[in-house]
Structure 1
Amino acid sequence: MEKKNWVRLDNASNIFLAARTDVDTKVFRFTAHMSEKVDPASLQKALIKVYEGYPLFQNVMRRGIFWYYLEHTEKIPYVQPETMPPCTAIYHYDRKELLFRVIYNENRIHIEVFHALTDGTGAMWFFEDLITEYTRLRHPEAFGENSERTPRQKQDLEDSFNRYFRKKKKKRENVPTREPFEEAYKEADNIEKSLQPYEEQTQYSNVHRVKGTITPDHRPRIIEMTTQVKDVLALSKKHKVSLTLYLTAIFMISVYESIEEKKEEDTVTVSIPVNLRQFYPSFSVRNFFSTTLMAYTFKKDQPYNIEDICQEIDKQLKKEIKPEAIEKRLKRFIGFEFHPAVRVVFRPIKDLVLKWVSLYTNRKITVAMSNLGKLSLPEMVEPYVDNINFYTAVVRPQFCVNSYKDKLNILFTSPFIETDIQKRFIRYLSSEGLDIQLDVNKVTREEFQ
């Protein structure tokens, strides 16, 4: 079978393209804090070696008449010293550029990725392989007899929605097919019969929206917080919720307490991505996630406590990650993409519609968070990597969480200069007795002087 040199984007990727702005570039970054200064030559060799094994990354973005699509390219990526602000735009419609970049600065190695290419899991697989190969080149003695690379189990171009949302199980072809999406659309008329009863998510009024002063050159305000993961886990267990929900509850409280003019009721919502690979086993490198919204309504004349907030959002999350809830949300996206009226609409018009959808959705979201969980490297690599963390460009305040070894990394990003919400969050955890290390970037002319 002749190799297919293009891949059509899924619905989520099209939204990233339509919704990107100068502030929210839809770019995210992973950083490895190495134990020694980075050697650019070794990093370049490692990049070429790993890049060869990831066909998805060997693509540029193209604009078709009706949709965007990825087109295979022979371009070779080159490592770059860090000279631009973090998460600077990667995709430009008038250039055929790779959709990721590898950057280095002193002892740090970064990878920045345009979200339309892949999600955090897919990018992390690439980054883990890159750091492993770099360490192999720099310290071959650490690998001993295990000097040969073990290929990662993955499927670069597979669209995992095809596997889980098709009417009949068929033998999967080597080239991704769009037929299951067609079938899913045809089944949409009977969606109520095929799914278990699902109660729609509550529609909230008075959703608070954070406002502030946009940074002068649109670089994100970044606050890196590091503490011991065992200490935060102990606090979350005390409240009988996961670490994700415990930190989310603190963020909600921090947002509410930062509101200067409180209403009778203020609803704080948090957008949380859900990695679908934990519910639908998949080795796809492509985007395979959904999002859900947690909410809590604060009342001006009623006291609140973290226990009540934790229990409320715990109930919400358990409902939203049920298979019937996930399937209903995803089939709606698929139905939109394959609606006959939508398919014949020209791409610029679709861009405007998706941009409007994004703006409308954003009105319901106060802040956001993302948790990639525990990140790890091969045993022989870890001594040469002190820490790994990640963050993303944002349209609203957000924090990203991951652990590495015994460290818990919480990275706040915001399009605003102000840091009141983040300060309240940090003070809360500090008051619980945590030992916290902080690093804050500079965003204003006064701070750089």
Structure 2
Amino acid sequence: MPEKNRWVRLDNASNIFLAARNDTDTKVFRLSARVAGPVKPAVLQKALDKTFEQYVLYHSVLRRGIFWYYLEQSELKPKVQLETAPPCAQIYHYDRRELLFRVLYHADRIHLEVFHALSDGTGAMGFFQDLLTEYLSLRYPEVYGNVDSLDSERLQKQMEDSFAHYFRKTRQLNFAEAAQSSLQTVTKVGKKAAHWFKSTYSPVPVGRKKNVYRVRGEKTPDNRMHAIELEMPVKEVLALSRKEKVSLTIYLTALFVEATQQTAPPSATPRTITVSVPVNLRQFFPSRTSRNFFSTTHLAYTYGEKKDTLSHVCQTFQDQLQRQISPDSLETRLNRLISYELNPLARIVIRPLKDVLLKVINYFNNRNTSLAMSNLGRVELPQPVDGYVEQVYFQTAAVRPQFCMISHGEHLTVTFTSPFVETAIQQRFVRMLTERGVSVTVAANKVTEEELEGKR
């Protein structure tokens, strides 16, 4: 087991989550699995105890310093809980010492919910896979015996700050250059400082002049996420994406945008729909960290300028994504992120002021972002455990309509989350799939007052 560090500063990607979270967008995501048989809470607790012992990162609580947030190791122990609250409810409260994750169960489902400042989806998946493996080996000992599939390299590298490891060493500004940059930044004080922070943290091009469409609707009465789960055969959707010669991610993102355009009010002027798409940097760098290590790209399509077809949207997004994940583009964006940490001005600005600046940036980012999506790819567990996991799911809190996708075996799940009661976009998305021959199973949670009271 890795040696415990008393405290570590948050990685760069995590700072925005602290500033941007609110009652609606809690910055919490959920990984779920439907397993064979009803969940046994005592067995799940035993599995959690063993898995938790191996993951030092998950022992952390979040603390607030004068200049930075940081993670501090604690002696708190997690307890499995019956699911009673809405999905992705608040985890971090600044006035409490709490672990930054929770393990829930209900019927035949096991859930892991994580505050995004602790880890990203790929990083948390390692913990979740080990938890499921341990639970199922204990639940069915006559089948599994003693399964030990812990990834020793992942455990050793779990605390690594991969942003610093892969970028800070090669791209540090010398202090004179950084100081000069800081002086230039404060020349016009607030305006310049805000612009500098924005250019560092905002993936949306500064000064966008397009008419970016913003989805509006009636908020759910108690701020719970409106979650809609879709299950479908992955091969059927892959066949559609291959027909368009694009990836599964691009195809479903384009379908999402098309569904949004078709259900939006008519517009007299060209309308741009933008989508936030996170990119797992472990695809490009040999990192095994369990902490955040991703970059965010933005795809945009303007309707009313060309022949608007699904094929054209697919090809536009494919070209945009390839440009944004090119080595030069990634290096430029991530070195800019690291330069924020190294900049002398950023070092001396107190944390509350950093939070204010990042809140402002997040506000403008939200205004320039119509939709969001995330893809965790294909999940596999060691045999024979994999055969006892029937399906996996992935969802996240959302400030706008969003979908998360993940596949396991022959199945693909797409989970929509939204702060709104309305479901026109999601319904159109499903209809577009079924019209193309895809078999889709739909399930949704209750969000309106009538549904929660059992009147509907």
TM-score (norm 1): 0.91
- Say which SS state the counterpart of residue 153 (structure 1) adopts: helix
The corresponding residue for 2:277 is 272
| Structure 1 position 383 matched with structure 2 position 387 | yes
Contact 1:184 1:335 in 2 (8 A): no
Q: Deviations for 1:362-395, whole angstroms, at most 9, x for unmatched residues?
A: 1111000101110111121122211011100000
Q: Cα 1:82–1:120, aligned 2, differ >3 Å: closer, same or farther?
A: same
Q: Cα 1:187–1:260, aligned 2, differ >3 Å: closer, same or farther?
A: same
Q: Given the alignment, which residue of 209, 218, 221 partners 2:214?
A: 209
How far apart are residue 167 of structure 1 and its match? Answer: 3.9
Q: Cα 1:346–1:150, aligned 2, differ >3 Å: closer, same or farther?
A: closer
The corresponding residue for 2:229 is 224
- Say which SS state the counterpart of residue 125 (structure 2) adopts: helix
Distance 2:355 2:408 in 1: 39
How far apart are residue 141 of structure 1 and its match? Answer: 2.5
Q: Given the alignment, which residue of 309, 321, 325 partners 1:317?
A: 321
How far apart are residue 213 of structure 1 and its match? Answer: 0.8
How far apart are residue 183 of structure 1 and its match? Answer: 6.3
- Say which SS state the counterpart of residue 278 (structure 2) adopts: strand
Aligned-residue Cα RMSD (Å) equals 2.1
Contact 1:398 1:413 in 2 (8 A): yes
User: Mean alpha-carbon deviation: is it higher for 291-300 or for 94-103?
Assistant: 291-300
Give the alignment of 1:347-358 within 5 angstroms.
Answer: 347-358=351-362
The corresponding residue for 1:36 is 37
What residue identity is the alignment partner of 1:102?
V
Give the alignment of 1:13-412 within 5 angstroms.
Answer: 13-144=14-145, 147-154=147-154, 155-167=157-169, 203-299=208-304, 303-412=307-416
Contact 1:185 1:338 in 2 (8 A): no
Contact 1:167 1:184 in 2 (8 A): no
Q: Cα 1:183–1:118, aligned 2, differ >3 Å: closer, same or farther?
A: farther
In structure 2, stretches of 5+ residues that fail to align are 182-203
- Say which SS state the counterpart of residue 165 (structure 1) adopts: helix
Q: Cα 1:54–1:81, aligned 2, differ >3 Å: closer, same or farther?
A: same
Q: Cα 1:204–1:252, aligned 2, differ >3 Å: closer, same or farther?
A: farther
Distance 2:41 2:406 in 1: 27
Instruction: Give the paired residue count.
Output: 427
Identity score, percent: 53
User: Mean alpha-carbon deviation: is it higher for 326-335 or for 231-240?
Assistant: 326-335
The corresponding residue for 1:173 is none
Q: Cα 1:311–1:442, aligned 2, differ >3 Å: closer, same or farther?
A: same
How far apart are residue 187 of structure 1 and its match? Answer: 8.1
What residue identity is the alignment partner of 1:162?
A
In structure 1, stretches of 5+ residues that fail to align are 169-179, 191-199
How far apart are residue 4 of structure 1 and its match? Answer: 3.2
Contact 1:185 1:331 in 2 (8 A): no
What residue identity is the alignment partner of 1:75?
L
The corresponding residue for 1:177 is none
Q: Deviations for 1:24-48, whole angstroms, at most 9, x for unmatched residues?
A: 0000001110110000000000001
- Say which SS state the counterpart of residue 14 (structure 1) adopts: helix
Q: Cα 1:340–1:27, aligned 2, differ >3 Å: closer, same or farther?
A: same
Q: Deviations for 1:51-110, whole angstroms, at most 9, x for unmatched residues?
A: 011111100000001111000001110000011111110000000000000000111100
Q: Deviations for 1:282-326, whole angstroms, at most 9, x for unmatched residues?
A: 0011100000001110018x6411111111111101100001101
Contact 2:401 2:418 in 1 (8 A): yes
The corresponding residue for 2:193 is none
